[in-house]
Amino acid sequence: KAGVTQTPRYLIKTRGQQVTLSCSPISGHRSVSWYQQTPGQGLQFLFEYFSETQRNKGNFPGRFSGRQFSNSRSEMNVSTLELGDSALYLCASSSGINTEAFFGQGTRLTVV
Amino acid sequence: KNEVEQSPQNLTAQEGEFITINCSYSVGISALHWLQQHPGGGIVSLFMLSSGKKKHGRLIATINIQEKHSSLHITASHPRDSAVYICAAISGGGADGLTFGKGTHLIIQP
Protein backbone atom coordinates (compact mmCIF):
# COMPACT_ATOMS: atom_id res chain seq x y z
CA LYS A 1 0.00 0.00 0.00
CA ALA A 2 1.52 3.33 -1.03
CA GLY A 3 2.06 5.87 1.72
CA VAL A 4 1.17 9.53 1.80
CA THR A 5 2.77 11.37 -1.10
CA GLN A 6 3.53 15.06 -1.07
CA THR A 7 4.73 17.04 -4.05
CA PRO A 8 6.93 18.83 -4.62
CA ARG A 9 9.51 17.93 -1.98
CA TYR A 10 11.33 21.25 -2.23
CA LEU A 11 10.25 24.63 -3.47
CA ILE A 12 11.80 28.08 -3.61
CA LYS A 13 9.51 31.05 -4.15
CA THR A 14 9.83 34.81 -4.04
CA ARG A 15 7.95 37.08 -1.64
CA GLY A 16 4.56 38.02 -3.01
CA GLN A 17 4.18 34.92 -5.15
CA GLN A 18 1.69 32.17 -4.47
CA VAL A 19 2.29 28.44 -4.13
CA THR A 20 0.26 25.25 -4.34
CA LEU A 21 1.28 22.08 -2.54
CA SER A 22 -0.24 18.68 -3.19
CA CYS A 23 -0.95 15.70 -0.96
CA SER A 24 -2.13 12.26 -2.06
CA PRO A 25 -3.41 10.26 0.90
CA ILE A 26 -3.21 6.53 1.47
CA SER A 27 -5.75 4.75 -0.70
CA GLY A 28 -9.09 4.58 1.09
CA HIS A 29 -8.29 7.39 3.53
CA ARG A 30 -10.84 10.20 3.46
CA SER A 31 -9.28 12.62 5.93
CA VAL A 32 -6.33 14.85 5.10
CA SER A 33 -4.78 17.32 7.52
CA TRP A 34 -2.11 19.92 6.88
CA TYR A 35 0.56 21.15 9.30
CA GLN A 36 3.28 23.77 9.25
CA GLN A 37 6.59 23.14 11.00
CA THR A 38 9.04 25.95 11.74
CA PRO A 39 12.04 26.00 14.11
CA GLY A 40 10.41 28.68 16.24
CA GLN A 41 6.81 27.49 16.46
CA GLY A 42 7.19 23.75 16.00
CA LEU A 43 4.32 21.88 14.40
CA GLN A 44 1.05 23.74 14.03
CA PHE A 45 -2.28 22.62 12.64
CA LEU A 46 -3.42 24.36 9.46
CA PHE A 47 -6.64 22.62 8.42
CA GLU A 48 -8.36 19.31 7.99
CA TYR A 49 -10.50 18.03 5.16
CA PHE A 50 -12.86 15.11 5.25
CA SER A 51 -14.84 13.98 2.22
CA GLU A 52 -14.14 17.23 0.35
CA THR A 53 -15.30 19.44 3.23
CA GLN A 54 -13.08 21.56 5.43
CA ARG A 55 -13.76 20.25 8.88
CA ASN A 56 -11.44 22.37 10.97
CA LYS A 57 -9.06 25.28 10.55
CA GLY A 58 -6.14 26.36 12.67
CA ASN A 59 -5.16 29.89 13.56
CA PHE A 60 -3.60 30.99 10.28
CA PRO A 61 -4.40 34.00 8.07
CA GLY A 62 -6.72 33.75 5.10
CA ARG A 63 -3.70 33.60 2.76
CA PHE A 64 -3.60 29.92 3.65
CA SER A 65 -6.32 27.90 1.98
CA GLY A 66 -6.93 24.38 0.87
CA ARG A 67 -9.28 22.02 -0.82
CA GLN A 68 -9.92 18.33 -1.22
CA PHE A 69 -10.99 16.55 -4.35
CA SER A 70 -13.39 13.66 -4.79
CA ASN A 71 -10.46 11.20 -4.91
CA SER A 72 -9.36 12.55 -1.46
CA ARG A 73 -6.25 14.21 -2.86
CA SER A 74 -5.74 17.59 -1.26
CA GLU A 75 -4.02 20.81 -2.16
CA MET A 76 -3.07 23.75 -0.03
CA ASN A 77 -2.42 27.20 -1.38
CA VAL A 78 -0.53 30.09 0.13
CA SER A 79 -0.98 33.45 -1.54
CA THR A 80 1.14 36.59 -1.23
CA LEU A 81 4.05 34.67 0.27
CA GLU A 82 6.00 36.17 3.16
CA LEU A 83 9.48 35.29 4.37
CA GLY A 84 7.90 33.85 7.51
CA ASP A 85 6.03 31.27 5.44
CA SER A 86 9.30 29.41 4.93
CA ALA A 87 8.67 26.08 6.60
CA LEU A 88 8.19 22.37 6.22
CA TYR A 89 4.59 21.69 5.26
CA LEU A 90 3.35 18.24 6.22
CA CYS A 91 0.15 16.50 5.40
CA ALA A 92 -1.29 13.49 7.14
CA SER A 93 -4.03 11.15 6.09
CA SER A 94 -6.29 8.97 8.17
CA SER A 95 -9.17 6.67 7.49
CA GLY A 96 -11.62 8.70 9.52
CA ILE A 97 -11.99 11.28 12.20
CA ASN A 98 -9.81 10.79 15.30
CA THR A 99 -8.06 7.77 13.81
CA GLU A 100 -4.33 7.16 13.44
CA ALA A 101 -2.59 9.69 11.22
CA PHE A 102 0.03 8.77 8.62
CA PHE A 103 2.37 11.52 7.53
CA GLY A 104 3.96 12.38 4.21
CA GLN A 105 7.61 13.38 3.81
CA GLY A 106 6.67 17.03 3.62
CA THR A 107 7.31 19.91 1.27
CA ARG A 108 10.10 22.25 2.29
CA LEU A 109 9.16 25.75 1.15
CA THR A 110 11.73 28.52 1.13
CA VAL A 111 10.57 32.07 0.50
CA VAL A 112 13.30 34.50 -0.59
CA LYS B 1 -6.88 25.24 23.89
CA ASN B 2 -4.79 22.28 24.90
CA GLU B 3 -1.22 22.86 25.98
CA VAL B 4 1.13 19.94 25.39
CA GLU B 5 4.43 19.88 27.25
CA GLN B 6 7.27 17.44 26.65
CA SER B 7 10.35 16.69 28.68
CA PRO B 8 13.22 16.57 28.36
CA GLN B 9 13.84 18.83 25.36
CA ASN B 10 17.19 17.20 24.67
CA LEU B 11 18.51 13.83 25.77
CA THR B 12 21.85 12.20 25.07
CA ALA B 13 22.38 8.63 26.22
CA GLN B 14 24.66 5.68 25.66
CA GLU B 15 23.70 2.71 23.55
CA GLY B 16 21.77 0.17 25.58
CA GLU B 17 20.29 2.62 28.06
CA PHE B 18 16.60 2.70 28.94
CA ILE B 19 15.03 5.93 27.67
CA THR B 20 11.93 7.71 28.95
CA ILE B 21 10.29 10.72 27.32
CA ASN B 22 7.37 12.40 29.04
CA CYS B 23 4.35 14.26 27.73
CA SER B 24 1.69 16.11 29.69
CA TYR B 25 -1.37 17.96 28.47
CA SER B 26 -3.72 20.47 30.04
CA VAL B 27 -7.20 19.37 28.99
CA GLY B 28 -8.89 16.07 28.36
CA ILE B 29 -8.10 14.32 25.14
CA SER B 30 -9.60 11.57 23.05
CA ALA B 31 -6.24 10.12 22.00
CA LEU B 32 -2.53 10.85 21.87
CA HIS B 33 0.04 10.16 19.17
CA TRP B 34 3.72 9.48 19.60
CA LEU B 35 5.63 10.46 16.46
CA GLN B 36 9.23 10.05 15.35
CA GLN B 37 10.93 12.54 13.06
CA HIS B 38 14.32 11.89 11.48
CA PRO B 39 16.57 14.54 9.90
CA GLY B 40 15.06 15.39 6.53
CA GLY B 41 11.63 15.87 8.01
CA GLY B 42 9.65 12.67 7.48
CA ILE B 43 7.37 11.80 10.39
CA VAL B 44 6.45 8.27 11.37
CA SER B 45 3.56 7.52 13.67
CA LEU B 46 4.79 5.19 16.41
CA PHE B 47 1.65 4.85 18.51
CA MET B 48 -1.82 6.20 18.90
CA LEU B 49 -3.34 5.44 22.29
CA SER B 50 -6.28 6.52 24.36
CA SER B 51 -5.74 4.37 27.45
CA GLY B 52 -3.33 1.92 29.04
CA LYS B 53 -0.20 0.76 27.33
CA LYS B 54 1.01 -0.28 23.89
CA LYS B 55 4.20 -2.08 22.93
CA HIS B 56 5.94 -2.43 19.59
CA GLY B 57 9.35 -4.04 19.57
CA ARG B 58 11.60 -2.05 21.91
CA LEU B 59 9.12 0.81 22.19
CA ILE B 60 6.49 1.10 24.88
CA ALA B 61 3.93 3.89 25.27
CA THR B 62 1.74 4.44 28.29
CA ILE B 63 -0.97 6.93 29.06
CA ASN B 64 -2.69 7.94 32.30
CA ILE B 65 -5.88 9.77 31.41
CA GLN B 66 -6.59 10.91 34.98
CA GLU B 67 -3.13 12.43 35.39
CA LYS B 68 -3.09 13.80 31.80
CA HIS B 69 0.30 12.24 31.21
CA SER B 70 1.91 9.89 28.73
CA SER B 71 5.36 8.36 28.48
CA LEU B 72 7.36 6.82 25.68
CA HIS B 73 9.99 4.28 26.69
CA ILE B 74 12.78 2.83 24.56
CA THR B 75 14.47 -0.30 25.87
CA ALA B 76 18.00 -1.32 24.83
CA SER B 77 18.45 1.95 22.94
CA HIS B 78 20.44 1.97 19.71
CA PRO B 79 22.05 4.78 17.68
CA ARG B 80 19.37 4.33 15.01
CA ASP B 81 16.82 5.47 17.62
CA SER B 82 18.37 8.95 17.39
CA ALA B 83 15.58 11.23 16.23
CA VAL B 84 13.11 13.82 17.45
CA TYR B 85 10.16 12.31 19.31
CA ILE B 86 6.95 14.32 19.36
CA CYS B 87 3.73 13.75 21.23
CA ALA B 88 0.52 15.08 19.75
CA ALA B 89 -2.88 15.25 21.40
CA ILE B 90 -6.31 14.96 19.84
CA SER B 91 -8.76 17.04 21.84
CA GLY B 92 -12.06 18.77 21.37
CA GLY B 93 -13.38 15.85 19.38
CA GLY B 94 -10.63 16.56 16.87
CA ALA B 95 -11.90 20.10 16.27
CA ASP B 96 -8.42 21.54 16.77
CA GLY B 97 -6.57 18.93 14.79
CA LEU B 98 -3.47 17.64 16.50
CA THR B 99 -1.79 19.78 19.17
CA PHE B 100 1.93 19.05 19.28
CA GLY B 101 4.59 19.13 21.94
CA LYS B 102 7.87 20.84 21.07
CA GLY B 103 9.61 17.50 20.68
CA THR B 104 12.47 15.69 22.41
CA HIS B 105 15.74 15.55 20.52
CA LEU B 106 17.27 12.16 21.37
CA ILE B 107 20.85 11.19 20.57
CA ILE B 108 22.08 7.69 21.30
CA GLN B 109 25.83 7.41 21.28
CA PRO B 110 27.55 4.11 20.41
Spell out the per-residue pLDDT of chain B, length 110, in tens: 778 999 999 999 999 999 999 999 988 888 899 999 988 778 999 999 999 999 999 999 999 989 999 999 999 999 999 999 999 998 766 666 788 999 999 999 99
B84 touches chain A (CB under 8 A): no
pLDDT tens-place string over residues A30-87: 999 999 999 888 999 999 999 999 988 888 999 999 999 999 999 999 999 999 999 9
For residue B70, give Cα distances in angstroms to A50, A62, A103, B5: 28, 35, 21, 10
- Tallying the residues shown for chain A, one arrives at 112
pLDDT-based confidence at A28, cuts 50/70/90?
very high
- Within 8 A by CB and 6+ apart from B108, the residues are B12, B13, B14, B15, B17, B19, B77, B78, B79, B80, B81, B82
Establish if A98 touches chain B: CB-CB under 8 angstroms. yes
Quick one: which H or E segment has residue B5?
strand B4-7
Nearest to B43 among A46, A48, A90 (CB): A90
| Partner B, chain A 1-20, Cβ-Cβ below 8 Å | none
Instruction: Test B97 with A106 for CB contact under 8 angstroms.
Output: no
* Identity of the residue in B42, B95, B100 whose CB atom sits nearest the CB atom of A43: B100
